[in-house]
Amino acid sequence: MRRYGLSDSQWERIKDLLPGREGHVGGTAADNRLFVEAVLYRYRAGIPLRDLPARFGDWKSVHRRLRRWCESGVIEQVFRHLAADRDNGYMMIDSTIV
């Protein structure tokens, strides 16, 4: 697992909540996991989208997809799903990653 990447167990918990998966109405996304890891990398590293490493693809595509997912409520749905887990290590009261 790369730094800022998702573990397999984390990915298993959210993959069925994301649009673009196989069998989902609409197009199949190239790689939802890579996109989610790009978003996590951006926020955890505290960098602008333009500074994303090349392995995540074009930063404009990441931005466009993130904006669509935010507007459609996908990001909020994933957050609520993960926040319901009482063992969530990222739910800290006085942390900048809340």
CB 62 within 8 A of CB 35: yes
More confident residue, 65 or 2: 65
Give per-residue pLDDT as tens, 23-34: 655 555 668 889
Q: What is the pLDDT of residue 22?
A: 63
Give per-residue pLDDT as tens, 62-94: 999 999 999 999 989 988 887 777 665 555 555
The Cα 14–Cα 35 span in angstroms is 13
pTM equals 0.75
Percent of the chain with pLDDT over 90: 36
Q: What is the pLDDT of residue 29?
A: 62
